[in-house]
Amino acid sequence: MSATYVRSKAAERLLNRELSWLEFNGRVLELAADPRLPLLERLKFASIFSSNLDEFFMVRVAGLMEQAASGFGLRSPDGRFPEAALVQIRDRVRELTAEQSRIWNRDLRPALDGEEIYVRRVAECDEAERQELAKRFDRDVYPVLTPLALGPGQRFPYISGLSLSLGVFVRDPDTGEERFARVKVPEGLPRFVDVPKRAYLIPLEAVIAHFLGGLFPQMEIAEAAVFRVTRNADFAVSDEADDLLEAVELELRRRRFGDVVRLEVAESMSDRMLGRLTTGLGIQADQVYRIQGLLDLADLAQLAALDRPELKDEPWVPRTPVDFLPQGSIDLFGTIASKDRLVHHPYDSFETTFETFLEAAANDTSVTALKTTVYRTSDESPLVPALIAAAESGKQSVCLVELTARFDESRNIEWSRALEHAGVHVVYGFPNLKVHAKMTLVVRRELDGLRRYVHIGTGNYHSRNARLYEDFGLFTADDDIAADVADLFNYITGFGRPRQFRKLLVAPFDLRDRLIAEIRAVGQAAAAGKAAWIGIKVNALTDEAIIAELYRASQEGAKIDIVARSICSLRPGVHGLSETIAVRSIVGRFLEHSRLFVFQAGKKVSYFMGSPDLMPRNLDRRLEVVAPVADPALQQRLRSFFDVLLADNTTAWELQGDGRWKRLHPKKDEPARATHPVLMKSARPRARRRAASLRRAR
């Protein structure tokens, strides 16, 4: 069989991961262009598009460039060599960034003008305003600027990643000597400088460029143009690391000096200056991206945060489920012991559910142990204070801190040291196995002995994210699930191999195999003419073995609905391959983040929820946990959620077999149905009904 045939067959079955992710970011950008959304929400999506793209270059593009440079000829699962993927990525990125610039210049900025939010140039200010701006510059900006001019024999200066800079050609009018200089735009200052008289907002780099003469006295400014560098920020900790904390700190220092993977420059930059930058940075022409208008639109977040509530979505206040309301003598642990509880964030409050559970464990004198995992958390979360309080009161307090959570490494190092100083037993997991599971274990002494309570989540224990990310959390006192979680904590902190799990599906041990067994059972049911349906909700689906089993189940006649927010390598709706598979993505007000799995094989229907996406890294190189949801009422709640997702005709996109995504719109005489507003609306009356029922019961 020829190599060409192998590649073509792979491409027929799978979509490229990186190109699929770029299409997701394209969907984010579509929301920035959507005139039906409030103006500042559109700015927020334009900002998210840029910050997403930064991380994509720092990690995914950087990795492909390293593969290409290695010369080993590695192919992606869809059959592409890294060089071919990079060409397609760069072409698509240029299309998307050009569209973002168009949206900003032609849509968003004029719309801001209409709301008296003026993003302007210094030249548009009158004389009095320029004088005021000069005072502001001298007081707040000039003291923190450091011009770096290159003379003969001097090395090109180090340019930090993701920082804006001005490239300047400075000429001595007396001698004609010209030098290149770099002026870094300070990162600690607001990106947009306000001019109070007419509510003008002027980009900081434009202000600096206007007053450059003060940095180079008695010199001529021949040219000044903005540029921005993106560096490789991915790293791997050696499997042989003896001290994981020390190894991560070392890699963090190295990250600052990663290779350049992208250079963004103003469209107006001359070829001469661009040549100076590419030579100095040691990069190729295909790494350069010319931008029409402002660079780094991630800073539009500053404008999106303006105090203009009429230009934003109405604030959402999460509801407290009745099971977590103060119930007199009925304690929270008794409530969980009586029946499993399921919460859905951000519709259900994270603060009054999980955080209440955590604080109850820390303060309850009957609790003897509190164990949890930290993948990402926030300063405002009570997670760390609760662990410290538990340790100080004599409880066994254990925290697994995942030091290699990408771009949260420094924060997690800080948390780990604070916890250790307070007497919490801190463990860091394994160099070659990232702990991504979200689980908390509480051990409580009760009349009939010790009892264990567990929370398993689909999202991080992060208070701020819980108001923006959609996630589920399961509270249970099920003996088998609790025993599995206890075994996992012992595996992480101790030494040994876990025994066979009772109810949990755990990566990297048995998760893929057990999911495949469920998929096969559905396929067999379909072949026998029985009811056969699979519902999968993930952030990303790329695992070849899982995709192959889904194709087989489809060919047996099983109906398969996949909701994949970002990446999907599966090709749906392809004749003879995946005709019964539909894939959609929901992108809107909240970030769809939960991972859910439903398998209907005849009369048997199994529901699962947990932390993993269906990607090789999650199934093979991470510790992930998936829990069964057995209670019929909770199962119905999950099925109703799927029904809402599959009925969305406003914030949903459907994946076509050729890799294109098609946004859905209501048909004629069909009401608009958007997932997040529907769930927000249903949360309000449900909360009111439950509260009224509780009051009557009292």
Annotated active-site positions, please?
436
Yes or no: say if 146 and 139 are a contact pair by the CB < 8 Å rule: no
Structure tokens at 61: 């593009």
Alpha-carbon distance of 395 to 369, in angstroms, equals 5
Sign of CA dihedral 583, 588, 591, 592: negative
Q: How many beta carbons lie within 10 A of that of residue 607, not counting itself?
A: 22
Yes or no: say if 570 and 14 are a contact pair by the CB < 8 Å rule: yes
Residue with tokens 């920020």: 233
DSSP secondary structure, 291-348, as one string: ESS-S-GGGHHHHHTSS-GGGSPPPP-PBPPGGGS--TT--HHHHHHHS-EEEEETTB
Structure tokens at 200: 């003008």
- Side-chain-facing half-sphere of 109: CA atoms under 13 Å: 18
Residue with tokens 């990125």: 93
Alpha-carbon distance of 61 to 567, in angstroms, equals 15
Q: Which DSSP category does 190 fall into?
A: -
DSSP secondary structure, 78-106, as one string: TS--HHHHHHHHHHHHHHHHHHHHHIIII
- Characterize the bridge pairing of strands 449-457 and 505-507: unpaired
- Characterize the bridge pairing of strands 288-291 and 367-374: unpaired
Alpha-carbon distance of 687 to 343, in angstroms, equals 12
**Which of 444, 446, 443 shows the shortest CA–CA distance to 486?**
443
Yes or no: say if 596 and 535 are a contact pair by the CB < 8 Å rule: yes
Phi and psi, residue 215, nearest 5° = -85, -25
Alpha-carbon distance of 331 to 505, in angstroms, equals 30
Alpha-carbon distance of 78 to 164, in angstroms, equals 36
Sign of CA dihedral 29, 31, 32, 33: positive
